[in-house]
Structure 1
């Protein structure tokens, strides 16, 4: 029996999708997808473009329902609490399940300091200046950005480089102390140096927050994740999970030939 979400629990949580199907209007994009993303681990969602990975990710923190004509069936459990339970507030789900998008999206005219704290305002969280200062330093440190910006916190976030902006967005997401962090191709627009720094940040975060990342970069999936799920949509059918398991098994000894072909670049 599922429950509503707790309001005060911190630390990484497991996230379980049960029989998730999704539609945009009459077009079905996911068909009965089930997956457990273990607490304190990095799970990579891999597969060709158009197979429903990003849609699945948005379902995990109730962003799918913002799209006109979108619909879904199934359950998403944060530990044992259903984020879609009747009466469950969207803001509570998103407080526990943060999101970092493909393109860095800091508030460009807002200072680095205020960017980090933006989520507190959105959730109506009050804090003293001392607490805010400590939170900014803590989250920027976790995002691997503190040393680079500590002496210019009052400068606009939009003045940072692309890689720095992405890490600022990670810090902003962490400031509300989520238990899960969703990342939709966070390195696709970044140079190799920035990509490496983001990957290091992901590895460092896993002790404090469960990470689910969509990536088309197989080397990145192999580097950063402990577990993988391979999505595929064939010949106009909805996306499904072909198989999932430890990253090592998925890359070295997959059960399905299609998985082997994909991770070794033979299609997609």
Structure 2
């Protein structure tokens, strides 16, 4: 079977430099800088309303689709600013994929066609002879192949919630991204499905740079190598209070607010 994903050597870091964001006049992020290393998982944690999901959407240019939304700063992929005029929006979406909180497969489209749906949208060319291998490889990477290999032509909407989320991961992988963004991918799932998604994240992390937003501290500790704690206090815009190796952030935080949050004393 041919697996059409980037090798570890091709995986690249993504970095935010002095990123600020607004919705109209309301500033929601203030000069956020964060390095997200290649071929590893970075978790974004913090209470609701502190700008984590906004930051995640800035990383693949979804923020600019919101009416009245603006931003300042840079987002670098392999040293190139994805907001530079030379970057097409489709380039950013192809190289930096997104998996949302709620599974969003195309319900009437087959499992097979769901996986390949992003190819046309992003202009990703795959020979017809290679598509079967691509679908099988992406479903395998998403931990779904054994469950659906005998019903690839059945509707994606017939799958369970956890299976639908893994199908969305397979769809994101089909365009061969270098970075995969995940916005609370397990929040609507049962514990068994959550475990399978976490296993998928662990398996993918050696090949794709992953950035995940999660409110589950145990999940952040399990899946991530690095962690960034976001906080917005008293109506102020969100900032990163502390970032570093996950074990250090959880076990030896430098800021008392980080310790209070990861140990459940607020948020």
TM-score by length of 1: 0.96
Correspondence for 2:71: 72
Distance (Å, rounded) in 1 between the aligned partners of 2:124 and 2:182: 24
Superposed, which structure 2 residues align to 1:12-91 within 5 Å? 12-91=11-90
Shift of 1:106: 0.2
Shift of 1:12: 1.8
Deviations 1:168-212 (A, max 9, x none): 000000000000000000000000000000000000001110000
Distance (Å, rounded) in 1 between the aligned partners of 2:126 and 2:194: 33
Task: Confirm or deny that 1:166 pairs with 2:171.
Answer: no
Deviations 1:73-92 (A, max 9, x none): 00000011110112310100
Distance (Å, rounded) in 2 between the aligned partners of 1:57 and 1:137: 28
SS in 1 for 2:253: coil
Distance (Å, rounded) in 2 between the aligned partners of 1:102 and 1:161: 15
SS in 2 for 1:207: coil
Superposed, which structure 2 residues align to 1:46-195 within 5 Å? 46-195=45-194
Shift of 1:121: 1.3
Correspondence for 2:3: none
Distance (Å, rounded) in 1 between the aligned partners of 2:232 and 2:19: 15
Task: Confirm or deny that 1:232 pairs with 2:205.
Answer: no
Aligned residues: 261
SS in 2 for 1:198: helix
TM-score by length of 2: 0.96
Deviations 1:78-136 (A, max 9, x none): 01111011231010011110000000000000000000000111123343332000000
Correspondence for 1:6: none
Distance (Å, rounded) in 1 between the aligned partners of 2:124 and 2:209: 23
Instruction: Name structure 1 gaps, 5 residues minimum.
Output: 1-8
Is the 8 Å Cα contact of residues 99 and 185 (structure 2) preserved in structure 1?
yes
Distance (Å, rounded) in 1 between the aligned partners of 2:123 and 2:239: 38
SS in 2 for 1:44: strand
> What is the RMSD of the two structures over their aligned residues, measured on CA atoms?
1.1
Is the 8 Å Cα contact of residues 96 and 179 (structure 2) preserved in structure 1?
yes
Distance (Å, rounded) in 2 between the aligned partners of 1:124 and 1:192: 36
Bigger Cα displacement from structure 2, 50-59 vs 118-127 = 118-127
Instruction: Name structure 2 gaps, 5 residues minimum.
Output: 1-5
SS in 1 for 2:118: helix
Query: Deviating runs (4+, > 4 A) in structure 1?
Result: none
Deviations 1:211-263 (A, max 9, x none): 00000000000000000000000000000000100000000000000000000
Is the 8 Å Cα contact of residues 108 and 157 (structure 2) preserved in structure 1?
yes
Correspondence for 1:255: 254
Distance (Å, rounded) in 1 between the aligned partners of 2:183 and 2:225: 17
